[in-house]
Amino acid sequence: MEPLDLNRMPVHLAVIMDGNGRWAQQRMLKRVVGHQRGAETVKMVVEQASQLGIKYLTLFAFSSENWSRPALEVRALMALLKKYIRQETARMMRKNIRYNVIGNRSDLPDDVNETLDSAISQTAGNTGMVLTLALSYGGRQELSAAAARVARDVLAGTLSPDAITTEVFGSYLDTGGLPDPDFLIRTSGEMRISNFLLWQLAYTELYFTETNWPDFTINELHKALADFQSRERRFGKTSDQISKGATY
């Protein structure tokens, strides 16, 4: 396995878990089986990320656009989510992990929301990794909803248009309170952002692998993190400024 520097882990790791359907189809299995195997990869990544000291892990579990999939697949994904959250809450308690959700929760079935509420409140006092599930999430939807909230506050007189800095606007997003991701992994060979965290990914290091999500292993995760650690993050500055530790 790649040697990793535990002092240089991404603070916030985001993942687009793609390729469950293709993994299943390549094996003449139903797409749902791919999602079930994908949930096993989720368990591994959550466990590893928390063990490696990553503070925030955000998983794109269901997009705003995924509602247009066949009803059977949507139902199976919702059932799988509910089962995962129920089964894993005890482990989250043992590992001191806190659940968080971003996305349009009012789209989700009541039973899924009840399971989420219970998991969120049970884990609310945990101080270790924050596991954010993006559910019925779309970056453009998040941005337009935030713009509407900003407009309401301006109309109500509680926010001045001159006060809308990037920090203030960021606090109106679903991710308000979370740092921006340092590293994004997308599996299955697609090189797109697909409406995920559009605002928050501005300076994120991107990593794409051909591996489908159910086949993504600990070794692959470590390889991706080693790649992150080999990169120089400049945030618009010069290489010289970074190596001299300049903060201007």
Q: What's the rounded Cα separation, in Å, for the pair 177 and 125?
A: 16
Binding site for ligand FPP (CB under 6 A): 17-22, 35, 38-39, 42, 59, 61, 66, 80-81, 84, 133, 188, 213
Active site residue 7: no
Find the shortest distance in angstroms from Cβ 75 to ligand FPP: 13
Name the active-site residue from 18, 20, 174, 182: 18
Active site residue 195: no
Smallest distance, ligand FPP to C-beta of residue 59, A:
5
The active-site residue, picked from 66, 113, 126, 195, is 66
Which residues, other chains included, contact 113 with Cβ-Cβ below 8 Å and sequence gap of 6+? 105
3-state secondary structure of 85: helix
Alpha helices by DSSP H, listed for the chain, are 20-26, 31-51, 71-94, 110-123, 139-156, 166-171, 218-229, 239-243
Question: Is 49 or 133 the residue whose CB approaches ligand FPP more closely?
Answer: 133
Buried (b) or exposed (e) across 6-26, using 16+ Cβ within 10 A? Answer: eeebbebbbbbbbbbbbbbee
Nearer to ligand FPP, 20 or 146 (CB): 20
Given the complex with ligand FPP, which of 9 and 81 has the nearer CB atom?
81
Which of the residues are catalytic?
A: 18, 66
